[in-house]
Each structure stands twice: as C-alpha cells, then as structure tokens.
Amino acid sequence: MHDFANAFILLSNYVLIPSITYGSQLAIGALGITLVFSILRFANFAHGDTMAFGTMVAIFCTWGVQALGLSLGPLPVALITLPVAIAVTIALVLGIDKIIYQFYRNKKVEPIILVMASVGVMFMMNGIVRILIGTGDVSFADGARFIIRAREFREMTGLDEGLALRTTQVITVVVAGVVMAALFWFLQKTRTGKSMRAFSDNEDLALLSGIKPERVVQITWIIAATLATIAGVLYGLDKGFRPFTYFQLLLPMFAAAILGGIGQPIGAVVGGFVIAFSEVALTYAYRRVFEYLGPDGFEVEGLAQLIETEYKFAISFIILVIVLLVRPTGIFKGRVL
Amino acid sequence: MKNILLAGLSSVALMTASAALADDHEIKIGVILGFSGPLESITPAMGASGELAMKEVSDSGAFLDGTKVTPVRADSTCIDAAAATSAAERLVSSEGVAAIFGPDCSGVTTAVVNNVTVPQGMLDISPSATSPALSSIEDNGLFFRTSPSDARQGAILAQIVMDRGIEEVAVTFTNNDYGQGFADAFVESYKAIGGTVTLSSAHEDGRADYSAEVGALSAAGGDALVVLGYIDQGGLGVMRSAIDTGAFDVFVGGDGMYGSSLLEALGDDLETWFGTLPGSAVQGDDPFLAVAEAAGIDVDGPYVRESYDAAALILLAMQAAGGVDSAAEHVMAVANAPGEKIAAGELARGLELLAAGTDIDYVGASGVELIEPGESSGVYREFELVDGALKDVKMH
C-alpha cells in the first residue's frame, strides 16, 4: 500500500501535474487556432507570437503595478493586469485584420495566401516583441511560489516521495477551466455564438440568413486574441517568458488542433491534453515507479524510458505526421487542412 | 539600379580608403565575445577587462614605438558558430584587426580558429574556451587560451565531490562542446576514484520547461546533481525544476554556473551549492584588484582575470616579436619563466623590458602559466554557498 502510494505520488509529481498544466496551456492556445481556422478558414501562424505579444503587455503592466508597491498577496499580479493585456492585444489583432487580412478577404483569395500573410504577421510581431522586451528570459510570477513544497509533503505524509504543487499550476488549471466553460457556453447558447457556428458550417447559408460576415470575423478575432493572451500569460507565469519559446509553441498547438479535428473546439481541448501527456509520459523514466510497484527488492536495469528527453520536441511532430497520414480529419472529424 | 550601383561602388571605395588610411601607429585588436546569448551576463566584465589591458598598453607609449591599440568589439553569440565566424571575418576583412581576443565559448572558438584565424595566420587568444577538444585542434601554433582545459576542471570537481563524501551523482550538461567535454572529463575522473554516475544526460538551452529532463535525472537518482551548463540558460532551468519537484537537494556546479544571478533566481530554495571555477594563482597581494577597481570592473566575475591576461599576452607577444607578424611564436616565452616577473598593472615595464631584449615571465592577473599546446595549467577556486553568499573555500 505504502509502495503504491509512493508510486502514485511519484507519477503525479513528474507526469500528471506537469502534463495537466501544460495540456491546459496548449488547449487554450489550440482553441484560438481552431476558431480562427473555422471562421476565417486559414491556419494562423501568428498565433504563437500573438500569445507572446499579449504576455509582454501583461508583463509591462505587472511591472507598473509592482512599481506602485502593490501586490495580490499569494496570487501573481499578472492576473489583474490580464484584462488590460487582452484589450491591447484585441486592438492590435483587429488593426492587423483591418490592414492586412481584410484586404485579402475582399479579394476572395485562396486560403494559402492568407496563411502566407499570417507568416508575415508572425515575423512582424516576433520583431515587435523582441524590440520592446528583448530576447531574454523574463520571470514575472510574483506572490507565493508553492502551495505544497516537496519536502513539506514528505514530512507531512511520511512517504518517501515528495509532491510539489506550484501556485501557477493551480491557477493555470482553474483559469483554463473557467475560460473553456465560458467559451463553450458562448458558442452553444448565445445568439452570436450560434451565428459563428452557422458561419463556420456553411458560409453561404449563413450569409443568406442575414448574418453579417465582418461582425462574425471581428468577434472571432476578439475571442482568438483573448484566448492567446490568457494562454500566453498562464504559460509565462508557469514556465517563464521568452519570445523564442512562444514561437516554438506553434508546433504543439497546431498538432493539438489537428489531432482533435481542426475547426472543432472540443477537439482542440482534447488534442492539447493528448499532446501534453504524450510529451511528458513518453519521455519520463519509469524506473522508480516500477521499483515501487514490483515485488520487494525488485530492481530495474536502466531508466525504463521510452524516448530520451532530447527528443521531446519531436513527439508532437510525430503525432502530427501520423494523424495526417492515418486520420487527417482528427479525432472529432474536423476539416482537412 | 543606378543608385544602388553608385552606393555599392562608393562603399567599396570607402572601405579601400579606410584600409589605406590605417597608419602604422595604430593597430586594432578584435574583441569577440558573446555579448548576446547564454553568457551575456558575464561577457561585459570580460570585455572591459581585456580592453583595460589594451588601454594600459596603448597609454604606456612603449608598445611598438608608440603604436596605439584600439579594441573593436564583435558578438560571438556563444552558441551560433556561423554568426561567430562571420563576426570574426568582419573583424579581419573590414576592420583589419591584427589579432583576435576571444571568442568565449568552446564551440564558437573552434569555428573561429578553424575558419578564420588559422587560414589568416592570425594570433588568437581566448580567455574562456575550456573544451578539452581545443587541446588537439590543428592551430599551426596560432591559438592559445589563458583558461585551462576542462579535462582538468572535471578531475578537480570530481575530487571535490568525493572529498565531501558524495559517492553517487547524476550529471546534466549543456548540449555543446563545452558541456560534453566537461561532463566526459568529470565522469571519467569520478568513476576512476570510485564514484558512481547514475546518469549523464544533456539538456538543450533555451527551453521553457525542464521537468522531463529532471524527471529522468531523478529516476536515475543520486545524492547530488552535477550541473555543467550555463547560468543564464538550461543550467538554471534544470536547477529550478529540480528544486521545485524536490528531486535533488545538493547541487554541484562548474564554472558556467557561477554567479550571483543564480542566487537571485533561486533565492532561499537553494541550500547546498558548491563547485569550481578558474581562479588566480597570484599569491600574496593582488595588484589586479587596484587596477580593475580603478577601471570599475568587478574582479569576482568568471574569466575577468583571464581576459586581462589574454589581451596582455597578445600585445606582449607582439612587442617581443617586434611587430604583428610572428607574434604567436613568442606567446609561450612571454608567459612563462625564465624572465622578469610582470604583474597586472605593470604592462609598461614589461613592454620596455621586451624592447630592451630582456626576457619576461608574465604573471598577470591570474598567475598565468601556459603549458603545451598553449593553454593555462589551471588553478581552480572551490566555491560554496555560505549564508546566502558565494564564498571561496579552497584553492586547487
């Protein structure tokens, strides 16, 4: 029994908690990508850098609040600066849509041209963020770092294995839950949400029934910018902000959206968690878990690791390739890219 | 089109003109360090220290009949060999430098030596490239370093860990020439003196999350985690994650992990922390302290002393050679006995002695003693975290 508890705590500490946190962050990011795809019908490569931009604004506001000497006690200040960051990001994204994407939309171009335009936007935002905040690491998580420390947990429970739970991990999961619930309620129950789904299903029918396309597009951008900023701030609070890692997030987020079925919000959420669990669980070394679960004195040669940690990044890529080959519509029958 | 042609032509003309204008009474020395990248927090002091030696030589008026020395900076990035190579090429071709001080990290140093300085037949002294692989690089006798090879640091670090009664460790190293070379040397020495290495695995720099790496290290187990990485990069990330998950309590670091920014980042969570960094063999009073203080340079940073010495050796060797061309042949003679001992701040005296044909033994800021094939024999400081501050506890 004792051994079983130890094995479970060990797995929670290194696999369950990290992948649930990372999965929530990926899921919110992938939701933004999938929404833009279902309404605007193109893969938005600038999404990772929109996240970086929103996070950067939140960081600047956090520094401002900190300079005033204010704090939120155990919670990070970034949580109250989040609305400001979202507002600024929405303004930027709507501006970019007005100047760049609207032009191509009015010309009714092929989707691939919009994709290429978004690559351009990506490089632009990349540059803006680096000029404004630099390329280095920024840690902006203040407040209490831990809810439970590993050592405290060991002393408290008398187990051999410790469990660490960070404040940012709990915040991530709670905020992600609220955001997803709100988004699904919006899409299912409100008039605007329904018009968005109608527009996504069949553009021509939606237009005939009197839905204003530009309004749907605007609302989509507003939601996408909101999701991007929230995902970015949560990721940054949890793992630290660095512009380049946000750019790298594009791959797992796209893999999550495509795996779930692109254009399917529920698919993005499921995809996000599957990707996160695969990345963490496939690279974890299970040696000690097996030793706890096996008979007394059972020893495992080697690390019992499926894939070395160096290849962590390749996992989302492999999943992406397999999905595109085997089931291009993804788990929830999305569109084919 | 016409405008572009004109602009191109005129810039070419300007470049030739400036090359022609470079008179005999000024030489330029390239200062190529990772002013951006993983070492960006320590390179400003290294650069300033090297430039301090150049200024001292230049101001003395005794260098090659009053020739002035001007440093020209370039960014090695520490990690991008292509960027470092093109930066070094720019120094050579458009700035016309006479020798190169740097680069800092082992990978970019290998690239610069292979692609630029050796083909150009140019003297290059690095203050901080410590990979064992650089001991066997084909340099035609043109490359030197005022820091020792990590083969030696690995052996000393292994002994320190063993002396503290730690017999089982896990090792994580940054995935490049420096990390790999250092880790190999450490693991080999540690095993030779009876230690067990449960896992020696690489980590990539610049990642947001190191929980997977720490998971593997923790599964392998051990009484301490040996971190052979960079303080601004993955090394810090791995330590942060290992402390957060409670995987390790005792941490051992190499020279790339030394600095106060680590203590700021980890705060009270870091309790047991010790390791090695290249130190100064200068005994008794330390003239470099006064010299560096006057220039506002923090002498405690890593490789600050080696930087002063690398720059000083380049210029003293040129003085011994009586010009730029065969300077590399004189580096070993200038740095080692026999001869008059020259300390930091005494470069003018060294220059005058060399001009008069007297041998000198440059001791400098770090007590540099070069061994074949042109690297420092190496003295190491053992540092330890005591009451929230890094203290030197022993010399090795």
Distance from CA of B146 to the nearest CA of A (A): 29
B284 pLDDT band (50/70/90 cuts)? low
Candidates A137, A146, A303; nearest CB to B199 = A303
In a domain, B100, yes or no: yes
Residue B20: pLDDT band with limits 50, 70, 90: very low
DSSP-assigned letters across all residues of B301-332: STTHHHHHHHHHHHHHHHHHHTSSTTGGGGHH
- In a shared domain, residues B159 and B141: no
- B136 lies in the same domain as B39: yes
pLDDT > 70 fraction of chain A, expressed in percent and rounded: 99
Confidence band (pLDDT; 50, 70, 90) for B3? low
The answer to whether residue B309 is domain-embedded is: yes
**Of B169, B204, B85, nearest to A310 (Cα)?**
B204
Determine, yes or no, domain membership for B391. Answer: no
Do B16 and B104 belong together in one domain? yes
Higher pLDDT, A90 or A159: A90
Mark which residues 112-131 of B lie under 8 Å from A by CB.
none
How much is the mean pLDDT over chain B? 88
CA atoms within 13 A on the CB side of A15: 18
Strand-pair category, B340-343 with B360-364: parallel
Report the number of distinct structural domains present in chain B.
2
Q: Which of A162, A163, A181, A179 is nearest to A171 (CA)?
A: A179
Model confidence at B23: pLDDT above 80: no
Q: Which residues does chain A have within 8 Å of residue B232's beta carbon, measured at their own beta carbons?
A: 136-137
Set of chain B residues whose Cβ sits within 8 Å of the Cβ of A150: 244-247
Residue B201: list chain A partners with CB under 8 A. 308-310
d(CA A275, CA A173): 16
Single residue among B221, B239, B270 that ends a domain in this structure: B270
DSSP character at residue B377: -
> Is the CB of B216 less than 8 angstroms away from the CB of A135?
no
DSSP one-letter string for A132-166: HH-SS-B----S-SEEE-HHHHHHHH--SS---EE
- Contact of A252 with chain B, judged by CB distance below 8 Å, is answered with no
Q: Are residues B192 and B218 in the same domain?
A: yes
Shared-domain flag, residues B195 and B129? no
Residue A2 clears pLDDT 90, i.e. is over it: no
Mean pLDDT on B47-53? 95
A286 in contact with B at a CB cutoff of 8 Å? yes
Name which of A9, A11, A14 to mutate to probe chain B: the one with the most chain B Cβ atoms within 10 A of its Cβ: A14
The pLDDT of residue B271:
87
Q: Which of B43, B78, B218 to mutate to test the interface with A (most CBs of A within 10 A)?
A: B218
Tell me what the mean pLDDT of segment B248-267 comes to. 88
Last residue of a domain, one of B270, B295, B320: B270
Residues 6+ apart with CB under 8 A from A287: A300, A302, A303, A304, A305, B219, B220
For residues B200 and B214, what is the distance between their CA atoms, to the nearest angstrom?
12
Domain ranges of chain A: 2-130+145-326
Q: Are residues B246 and B294 in the same domain?
A: no
**SS3 assignment, position A188:** helix
Tokens of B121: 């037949």
**B390 inside domain:** no
Give the residue from chain B lying closest to A141, CA to CA: B265
**8 Å CB contact between A55 and A85:** yes
Mean pLDDT of A140-169: 88
- For residues B57 and B175, state if they share a domain: no
Q: What is the CATH number of domain A2-130+145-326?
A: 1.10.3470
**Is B208 an interface residue toward A (CB < 8 Å)?**
yes
Question: Which H or E run contains B273?
Answer: strand B272-278
Kindly report, residue by residue over B359-383, the tens digit of the pLDDT: 999 999 988 889 888 998 878 889 9
pLDDT at site A231: 97
Nearest to A240 among B36, B199, B208 (CB): B208
Q: What is the rounded average pLDDT for all residues in chain A?
A: 91
DSSP B62: -
Q: Residue B262's domain spans which residues?
A: 150-270
What pLDDT score was predicted for residue A299?
79
**Same domain? B155 vs B142:** no
Q: Using the predicted structure, report yes or no on whether residue B12 has a pLDDT greater than 50.
A: no
The stretch A281-305 carries a mean pLDDT of: 84
In a domain, B278, yes or no: no
pLDDT value of position A337: 60
Q: Which residues of A touch B199 (CB under 8 A)?
A: 303
Spatial separation of the C-alpha atoms in residues A6 and B57, rounded to whole Å: 65
Contact of B307 with B47, CB cutoff 8 Å = yes
Greater model confidence, B162 or B14: B162
| Rg (alpha carbons) of chain A, rounded to whole number | 21
Predicted confidence at residue B22, as pLDDT, reads 42
Strand partners, B32: B74
Does residue A12 have a pLDDT over 80?
yes
Residues B10 and B135 in one domain: yes
pLDDT digits (tens, 9 = 90+) for B180-197: 989 999 999 999 999 999
The residue in chain B having the minimum alpha-carbon distance to the alpha carbon of residue A241 is B208
pTM over 0.90, yes/no: no
Question: Does B140 share its domain with B163?
Answer: no
State whether residue B135 is helix, strand or coil. Answer: helix
Position B14 scores a pLDDT of 46
Q: Supply the CATH number for residue B344's domain.
A: 3.40.50.2300
Interface residue B7 vs chain A (CB under 8 A): no
Is the minimum CB–CB distance between A335 and chain B shorter than 8 Å?
no
Task: Answer for the pair B331, B313: CB distance below 8 angstroms, yes or no.
Answer: yes
Q: How far apart are CA A50 and CA A126, in angstroms?
A: 9
Q: Is the pLDDT of residue A328 over 80?
A: yes
User: What pLDDT band is residue B283 in, cutting at 50, 70 and 90?
Assistant: low
**Residue B176 — φ and ψ, nearest 5°?**
-155, -175
One domain for residues B7 and B142: yes
Q: Are B207 and B162 in contact (CB under 8 A)?
A: no
Does the pLDDT value for residue B15 go beyond 70? Answer: no
Which tens digits make up the pLDDT trace of A24-53? 999 999 999 999 999 999 999 999 999 999
Q: What's the average model confidence in pLDDT over B98-104?
A: 94
Q: Is B226 found in the same domain as B183? A: yes
